Chains A and B, each alone.
Chain A
Amino acid sequence: MRKQFAKTINELGGEDNRLVVLLGDISHFLLRDFQAKYPNRFYNMGIAEQAMLSVSSGLAMSGLIPMVHSIAPFVTERCFEQIKDDLCYQNLGVNIVSVGSAFDYASLGCTHHCYDDIAILRTLPNMQIIYPSAPHEFDALFRETYANGKPKYFRLPAKTHTLPTKPKFGEVERLYSGEDATIIAVGPQIQNAYDAAAELSKEGVSCDVLHLTTIKPISAASQKIIADSIGKSGRLVTIEEHTILGGVADEVAYIAKDIEFRHRRLGIEDKFLTNYGTYEEHCIANGLTKEGVIKAVHELK
C-alpha cells in the first residue's frame, strides 16, 4: 500500500505542479524520488503537526494542492481543531493521508492506535473521508479526488485485500448479492466479509456484501442501494477497524433511519486496547474475522 502511495504521489508530482508534499517526519525515504525531482514542493515538517496542518491551509488558499502525511493519531486527533478551523471552516482542498490507523501499530500501544479518526472527522462539515484498502483503490480514488478542492482524509491501512474492486468516489460497491443479510464492510475487513458470505452461501444463507471506500459523502444513489438492501434483508452487520461509536456503523444506521432492521456492529468496543502483539491478534481479540462475521449473521437469524 505504501509503495503504491509513493508511486501515485510521484507520478502526480510530475503531472501536476500544484501538488505539494508535507510530511510529519515519516515516509521521507519512501518519497525520496519526489524530493529529488521536486525539491521546492517537498517539505518534511518535522514533529509539529498542528502548525503543519495550518501551513497546508495557507498553501491551499493560494491554489496549491497539499498532501499532508503522517501517522493517524498525530494527523487527526492531535490537530483536530486545525482541521476544523483551517481546512473545513475555510473549505480548502487539502489531502490528509494517514497510515497507522486502528491498531496497525499493534505493539506500540494506545498512543499509536487510532480508531476514532473516522468518527471525529465525520462530524466536520465539508470533510470528505476516503478509505482505500488495496493499492489499486488508493491510486484510483486519490487520482479521482485529490484536486477536487475539498478537505479530504485518506485512511491507508497496512493490511490490504485482494478482491478485484472498482472503487468510485462516493459510491458503494456490491461484491456479493443476497437477501438474507446485509454485510457492510470498510477497509481490509471487506476480505472477511466476502469470505464469510461465500461460506454462508454454502449453508443456504445469502448475503449482500457492500463495500464502502468513501465514508463521506455517500451519493444519493449509493444511499438508496444501502437502504434497499437493508430494507430487503432486515438484518445488518457492519464491520470496521474502528470504534463502534460514530464510524461506519453509525453512518449506515443513519442512512437506514426509516427502516426496521436489526444490527450487529463488529468493531472496537468503547475501550483502550492495552494489549500489544500483532495486527492479527488484535483482529481476533475484537472479533474482526470471517468467523466473527458468520457468528453475527447467525445471531440475527
Chain B
Amino acid sequence: MAVDYKKELQQIRWDVLEMVHRAKEGHIPSAFSVLEILYAIYKNKKEEDAFFLSKGHASAGLYAALAHFGVIKKEELKTFCDYDSFLGGHPHKKAGYFMNSSGSLGHGFPVAAGYALSKKIKKEPGKVFCVVGDGECNEGSIWETAMYAEQLGLENLVCIVDNNNSQVRAMVSTNLAGKFGAFGWDVREADGHNVPELEKALFDQDKDASKKPLCIVARTVKGKGVKAMEEDTFSWHHRAPTDEELEKFKVEIFQ
C-alpha cells in the first residue's frame, strides 16, 4: 500500500544533482540532508498548513521536492540560478511558491513563529512547519524564538532541526533535544532519512493534546546518498559536480 518513497527520493536526489550541475551553483549536501524531511512534510501537509524553510541554502532540495509534488513545473528546475529565474540560490517569494524569501540564517524560524501566532489570533486551523539547520542553531534569534514559542503557547508550531552535524567545524551542536526541552518544547527525535519515522514524529495525533510547540530533532547526514559528499562535506558544501562526477553519482543514487 505504501508508495515506494525510496524510489521517489532517488529521482528527487538526481533532480538536485542535475540542477546544480547545470547551474554550476548550489549547496548539494545541505539539500540532500533535508530531502526526506521535505518529502514527509509536503506529502502530508494540509491546505491550511504552512511551511517555512529557514535554512534557505537547501533551496535546490526544496525546488526538486516541490517539482516532485507538482507545485513547480519540472521544466522550471532547469532555470535554477539563471539571471531571471524564479528559483535562486536562496528562495524568493516572487516565485509564488514560498512563504518567505530567505537566505540569512536565524530569520525564517521567528517569521514562522509570527505566522503561527497570527493563526492563533485569527483562530485559524493548521500547523506551521519550519526547517532549521543545526548550524543555524548557533544564531541567538533561534533561541529567542524558542523562548517566544513556549511563552506564546504556539502549539501549532513544529520546528524540525536538520541535525546534520554541519557545525563540527565550529560550534558543535550538542544536545539540541535537551535544549529545546529546556525551553519548554515537546521534543521528539527521529531518523531524518526515514520517511515513515518522520511522518510519525510530525503528524502523530497524540501531539494534538499538547499545548506546547513541537521540536523534532532529525538525525541526518549531510550529502546523504553520495558517499564522496558524506565523507567530505567541507569541500562539497558549495560546489557543483563535474561531468564525470555526475555520471558516477548517478549510478550511486539509483543503486
Contact = CB atoms under 8 A, between A and B. Distances in A.
Interface in B108-162: 109-122, 140-141, 144-145, 147-148, 152
A59 interface: yes
B177 interface: no
A43 B113 CA distance: 13
Interface range, A side: 20 to 34
Contacts of A57: 100, 110-111, 114
Contacts of A206: none
Contacts of A89: 101
A46 B120 CA distance: 20
Interface of B: 93, 99-101, 103-104, 106-107, 109-122, 140-141, 144-145, 147-148, 152
Contacts, number: 87
Contact of B118 (A48, A54, A64): A64
Given A50-B110, A55-B114, A61-B118, 9 more contacts: A43-B152, A46-B147, A54-B107, A54-B110, A58-B117, A59-B115, A59-B118, A64-B118, A89-B101
A51 B152 contact: no
Contacts of B107: 54, 82, 85-86
A207 interface: no
**For the complex of A and B, 10 pairs with smallest distance between CB atoms:** A58-B114, A54-B110, A51-B144, A55-B114, A62-B118, A58-B115, A48-B144, A51-B110, A58-B111, A50-B141
A96 interface: no
A89 B148 CA distance: 23
B115 A20 contact: no
A89 B93 CA distance: 10
Nearest to B114: A58
Contacts of A255: none
B103 A55 contact: no
B97 to A, nearest CB: 14
B121 A61 contact: no
A86 B111 contact: yes
A55 B113 contact: yes
Contacts of A111: none
A211 to B, nearest CB: 36
Given A64-B118, A64-B121, A90-B101, A58 B152 contact: no
